[in-house]
A and B are shown apart, each in its own frame.
Chain A
Amino acid sequence: GQQLNQSPQSMFIQEGEDVSMNCTSSSIFNTWLWYKQDPGEGPVLLIALYKAGELTSNGRLTAQFGITRKDSFLNISASIPSDVGIYFCAGSYYAGGTSYGKLTFGQGTILTVHP
């Protein structure tokens, strides 16, 4: 099935560093979501974006909905050990009055933080 292009695939950083990851699509989305998944658990919603150009923060996390509506970015500032996990972007597109937000996911970015 279709998946978004998410990069980088993995990152190894020192505690306190900032992290950036991005996601691109060949098609337009109306909604971008960013999730974090820990081993053996389901994805946890971090940030939701609904408008092209929108910049939204959640604590040390900041995400942007790209102007072209085909990309999104996630930044994590001052990383800490508990940021370790897999980060997924997900997009959805709807048209007309009936919408249900079927999500298309990226392949994930594996983040490792060294203390």
Chain B
Amino acid sequence: GAGVSQSPRYKVAKRGQDVALRCDPISGHVSLFWYQQALGQGPEFLTYFQNEAQLDKSGLPSDRFFAERPEGSVSTLKIQRTQQEDSAVYLCASSRSSYEQYFGPGTRLTVT
């Protein structure tokens, strides 16, 4: 069966550009999470969706970060006016129950 997929796998953006990162969760998974992983660190929570509802966005580092999941399936994480400190791997995870989360391969964002 298909796992969580993310695209693009790699993204290079010039400082100030907007980027959009896509996540396709496992079919039927109600819960979807976004995490940010800095080099050499564990992932850190950004935001959580239950179906199309964004129930927690407490981890989003600034108002330049925005996430949506309009139909309760595919999700997009958008970063406006990218800064160098936004360079990281962005991981998406989905779950049927929220307790066991299955991760995608991530999108490595490099801001130059």
Q: B-contacting residues of A (Cβ < 8 Å)?
A: 1, 3-4, 6, 31, 33, 35, 40-45, 48, 50, 88, 90, 92, 98-108
Contacts and interface: CB of A to CB of B under 8 A. Distances in A.
A100 B98 contact: yes
Interface of B: 4, 6, 31, 33, 35, 40-45, 48, 50, 55-56, 59, 91, 93, 95, 97-106, 108
A41 B105 contact: yes
B105 A40 contact: yes
Contacts of A103: 33, 35, 43, 45, 101
B105 A101 contact: no
A40 B104 CA distance: 11
Contacts of A33: 100-101
A101 B42 contact: no
A7 to B, nearest CB: 13
Contacts of A92: 99
A107 B40 CA distance: 8
A1 B91 contact: no
Contacts of B4: 42
16 contacts: A3-B41, A6-B42, A41-B105, A42-B104, A42-B105, A44-B103, A45-B100, A45-B101, A45-B103, A50-B99, A101-B95, A101-B97, A101-B99, A101-B101, A103-B43, A105-B42
Given A1-B59, A43-B91, A100-B55, A108 B101 contact: no
A63 B49 CA distance: 29
A90 B41 CA distance: 13
Interface centre among B40, B43, B103 (most CB of A within 10 A): B43
